[in-house]
């Protein structure tokens, strides 16, 4: 295509339009329909930016109704910018995890989450009072792990307490999650008392708040959580998780009451369904204080349904801010689930290597996406993903650090 010189081309367009317009005007006596059409054409012409018009207007006599042609701007037309902001009637509840000695526990530090009054990181509206936090996942028995993770935890693989200590000392974990997988009736069927002992060991090993994970069997989890709640009295550990299945099995109330009695927190888990999440929260609120309930809305891995998780988290957060009090609890995401995606660990061919980077960037992307949807607590696994997320959330909490001069010349930078 050979480009027409600008003037000529614009003139051509305008001449065409004007000719059309004049045609219509010529028959303007004919009736209403045409008259309406004329209005519209005029409207369009006025929108035409235009000194361009002026050349054309000389050629064909303009109808008197036309506004005077506008000249092309010769300098920047200054307009201001004001962000569109909103007031939200709702607020996410503030929840404190862990308790210090003076508060009845033994933690060196406690963690507060929640309190948001705007969508995630809308700092132009209001910064959240508490930054999101990261828990490092540990297990009470040797679990299958992708090689990229295994190399980092080999020495502590079967020792939750040692794993927890490494998570805090080396990776900067805000919290530790202990998954009591050995209690699964289909695995080792470890007794609640044994599981409670593991929890005590981890409480000894680290001074950050704990999240206690079960095995997924509603009845067994209820027994284990009840025992753990008692043994860790006053520690404000988070029991992960309480479910509607526990309700069906007739054990939900009992475990919720035990949590309340011994001063623990509960995490309500539902599978990508806000109505069920609300139903569960209503049930939990019967026995547990509102500031001791968190939600797990399900975290699917990138490539395996992350978009469903992302959207359900965005919907939940906006509904909560708009006033739905049954959803105004902080949320937790098990982003370690990212490793369920084959893309995180599978050998895919040389062009996709190294897997040692592909895995942790997969976990990072999964976590980061949910960070932007408003998640408050992340349960994570790979040290590089954890380090990156820590950095990102810190950076996202502070405004005013963009330096235009640093990127101004990216176009001709030698990279």
Partner 1 sequence: MSEREIKKGVRGLSPIDAYTLLPRTNCKKCGEANCMAFAAKLVNREVSLEGCPPILEKEHIKEYKKLEEMLAPAIKEIVIGAGDRAVKIGGKLVMYRHEFTYHNPIALAFDVTDEMPARPRFSGEEALLDRVKKVEGFSYEYIGRELKLDMIAVRSTSNDSTAFRSTVGTVTELTEMPLILCTFDPNVMEAGLVAASGRRPLIYAATKKNWKEMADLALMYDCPLTIFAPNDLSLLRSLSKTLMEYGVKDLVLDPGTFPDEGLSETVNNFTMVRRNACKGGDELFGFPLIGTPITAWLNGEEPKEMLAWKEAYLGSTLMTRYADILIMHSVDGWSQLPLVVWRFNIYTDPRKPVSVDPELYTFGEPNEKSPVMLTTNYALTYFTVESDLKKFGGNYYLIVADTEGISVESAVAGRYLTAESIAEAVKNSGIAEKVGHKHLIIPGMAARLSGETEDELKNIGLSGWHVMVGPRDSSGIGKFLDEKWPPKEEE
Return the closest-CA partner of residue 107 out of 279, 234, 252, 271: 234
* Residues 28, 405: Cα–Cα separation, whole Å: 58
Q: Which stretch binds partner 1 (CB under 8 A): 151-159, 167-175, 204-212, 302-310?
A: 302-310
Among 29, 31, 32, 81, binds partner 1 (CB under 8 A): 81
Shortest spacing between CB 401 and partner 1, in angstroms: 4
Among 278, 283, 355, 382, binds partner 1 (CB under 8 A): 355
Is residue 46 close enough to count as binding partner 1 by CB under 8 A? Answer: no
In the range 187-246, which residues lie near partner 1 by CB under 8 A?
Answer: 187, 215-218, 243, 245
Shortest spacing between CB 185 and partner 1, in angstroms: 10
Is residue 408 close enough to count as binding partner 1 by CB under 8 A? Answer: yes
In the range 133-172, which residues lie near partner 1 by CB under 8 A?
Answer: none
Among 163, 171, 310, 378, binds partner 1 (CB under 8 A): 310
Is residue 346 close enough to count as binding partner 1 by CB under 8 A? Answer: yes
Q: Which is nearer to partner 1, 19 or 348 (CB)?
A: 348
Is residue 72 close enough to count as binding partner 1 by CB under 8 A? Answer: yes
Q: Which stretch binds partner 1 (CB under 8 A): 131-139, 170-178, 204-212, 339-347?
A: 339-347
Q: Which stretch binds partner 1 (CB under 8 A): 107-115, 227-235, 251-259, 265-273?
A: 265-273
Among 29, 61, 89, 406, binds partner 1 (CB under 8 A): 406
Question: Residue 352 half-sphere exposure, CB side, CA atoms within 13 Å?
Answer: 13
Residue with tokens 């380090």: 387
Shortest spacing between CB 91 and partner 1, in angstroms: 20
Is residue 322 close enough to count as binding partner 1 by CB under 8 A? Answer: no
Q: Which is nearer to partner 1, 87 or 412 (CB)?
A: 412
CA distances from 243 to 225, 333, 402 (A): 12, 15, 44
Binding mask 358-377 for partner 1 (x = CB under 8 A): x--xx-xx--xx--x-----
Among 32, 64, 89, 410, binds partner 1 (CB under 8 A): 410
Q: Which is nearer to partner 1, 159 or 217 (CB)?
A: 217
Return the closest-CA partner of residue 298 out of 272, 337, 274: 272
Among 15, 230, 318, 324, binds partner 1 (CB under 8 A): 318
In sign, the C-alpha dihedral spanning 249, 335, 228, 259 is negative
* Residues 96, 292: Cα–Cα separation, whole Å: 8
Q: Which is nearer to partner 1, 114 or 360 (CB)?
A: 360
């Amino acid at each position: 295509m050979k480009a027409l010189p600008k003037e000529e081309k614009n003139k051509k367009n305008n001449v065409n339009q004007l000719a059309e317009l004049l045609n219509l005007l010529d028959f303007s006596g004919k009736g209403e329909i045409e008259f309406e059409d004329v209005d519209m054409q005029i409207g369009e012409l006025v929108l035409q930016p235009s000194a361009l018009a002026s050349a054309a207007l000389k050629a064909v006599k303009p109808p008197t109704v036309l506004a005077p042609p506008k000249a092309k701007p010769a300098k920047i037309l200054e307009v201001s910018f004001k962000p569109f902001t909103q007031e939200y009637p709702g607020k996410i509840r503030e929840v404190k995890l862990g308790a210090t000695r003076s508060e009845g526990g033994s933690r060196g530090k406690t963690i507060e989450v929640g309190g948001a009054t705007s969508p995630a990181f809308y700092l132009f509206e209001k910064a959240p009072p508490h930054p999101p936090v990261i828990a490092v996942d540990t297990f009470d028995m040797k679990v299958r792990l992708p090689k990229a993770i295994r190399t980092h935890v080999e020495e502590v693989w079967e020792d939750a307490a040692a794993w927890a200590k490494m998570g805090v000392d080396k990776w900067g974990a805000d919290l530790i999650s202990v998954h009591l997988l050995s209690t699964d009736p289909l695995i080792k069927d470890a007794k609640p008392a044994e599981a409670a002992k593991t929890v005590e060991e981890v409480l000894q090993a680290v001074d950050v708040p704990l999240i206690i994970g079960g095995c997924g069997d509603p009845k067994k989890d209820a027994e284990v959580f009840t025992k753990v709640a008692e043994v860790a009295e006053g520690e404000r550990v988070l029991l992960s998780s309480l479910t509607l299945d526990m309700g069906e099995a007739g054990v939900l109330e009992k475990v919720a009451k035990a949590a309340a009695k011994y001063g623990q927190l509960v995490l309500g888990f539902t599978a990508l369904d806000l109505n069920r999440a609300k139903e569960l929260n209503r049930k939990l609120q019967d026995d547990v204080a509102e500031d001791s309930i968190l939600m797990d809305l399900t975290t699917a891995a990138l490539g395996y349904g992350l978009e469903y998780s992302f959207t359900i988290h965005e919907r939940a957060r906006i509904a909560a801010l708009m006033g739905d009090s049954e959803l105004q609890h902080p949320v937790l995401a098990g982003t370690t689930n990212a490793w369920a995606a084959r893309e995180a660990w599978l050998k895919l061919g040389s062009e996709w290597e190294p897997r040692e980077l592909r895995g942790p960037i997969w976990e990072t992307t999964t976590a980061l996406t949910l960070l932007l949807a408003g998640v408050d607590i992340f349960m994570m696994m790979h040290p590089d993903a954890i380090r990156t997320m820590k950095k990102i959330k810190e950076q996202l909490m502070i405004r005013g650090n963009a330096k235009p001069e640093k990127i101004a010349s990216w176009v001709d930078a030698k990279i």
